[in-house]
Amino acid sequence: KDSSANKTGKNIFISTQNAEKESVTSAKDGRVANIDGDRYILLNVGQRVETEKATQSVKLSNFAEYGTKVREDYSIDPAQPPPRQISTLVLAAAKTPLFLGELSWRVGLVLTAANLVILALAVSTANPRASRSSNLIFAMFAFIVYYNLVNLGQAWIAGSRVKAVPYLVVLHGGVFLFSLIWLYKRHLGFSVKSLVLRSIHRARSVRKA
């Protein structure tokens, strides 16, 4: 996240693409530096995934330090506070992708907490004969994936790759519906087998009538 000086950050995510290839670079932290009159972003401890569009070949590389040059028209206004320090009302009034990305992250945390409560209720309603560890592993996996998608959405929205409202609706609305359906299924003891048996029973009842 942004620092007070707006020159360093953690959990860096960079996505670039051109006619031949596209790449995704992620790093533990990074900083902005001026080298020989050019502006660079220096990343520490991360990995880079590069995909060739023509052949769909993928190249994965890990690095201890990686530098990438920032375009010439990029600038940082030291007088402007980073998005992390701006109030939610100001972010909501702004229309810039960077502010919308931060706003989507804040709203996403609230929606994530609500959806995880419903998902936890569905997971906790388990069959006594089934293994409890499998539900615990699924809950941990669901949280990790869900939280990473929230962070990934922030980067995509800030980079103008996706719109804020559709992403929030698809991600959080999808998890909400999935959690409700699963909770309803567990509450009624619904399964595909029971559905088939009910259909067969109804068909036999109609024939007898």
**DSSP code of 122?**
H
For residue 209, give the H/E element and its range. Answer: none
- The mean-pLDDT minimum among 62-76, 144-158, 170-184 falls in 62-76
* Residues 151 and 11 sit within 8 Å (Cβ to Cβ): yes
Q: Give residue 168's pLDDT.
A: 93
pLDDT above 60 for 76: no
Q: Give residue 177's pLDDT.
A: 93
pLDDT above 60 for 131: no
d(CA 113, CA 147): 10
pLDDT above 80 for 129: no
In terms of pLDDT, which residue wins out, 36 or 109? 109
pLDDT above 70 for 71: no
Contacts for 34 with CB less than 8 Å, ≥ 6 apart: 40
Tell me the chain's radius of gyration from C-alpha atoms: 24
Q: Give residue 128's pLDDT.
A: 55
Q: In the chain, which residue ranges form alpha helices assigned H by DSSP? A: 88-93, 97-124, 132-158, 164-188, 192-208
The 10s digit of each residue's pLDDT in 8-46 is 778 887 878 887 888 888 888 888 887 777 778 888 888
Q: Give residue 174's pLDDT.
A: 93
Residue with tokens 């660079």: 40
Q: Are strands 58-69 and 21-35 parallel, antiparallel or unpaired?
A: unpaired
Q: Give residue 166's pLDDT.
A: 93
- The mean-pLDDT minimum among 7-11, 65-69, 78-82 falls in 78-82
Rounded mean pLDDT, 63-79: 67
Q: Give residue 199's pLDDT.
A: 63
For residue 6, give the H/E element and its range. Answer: none
In terms of pLDDT, which residue wins out, 21 or 3? 21
pLDDT above 60 for 88: yes
Q: Give residue 161's pLDDT.
A: 84
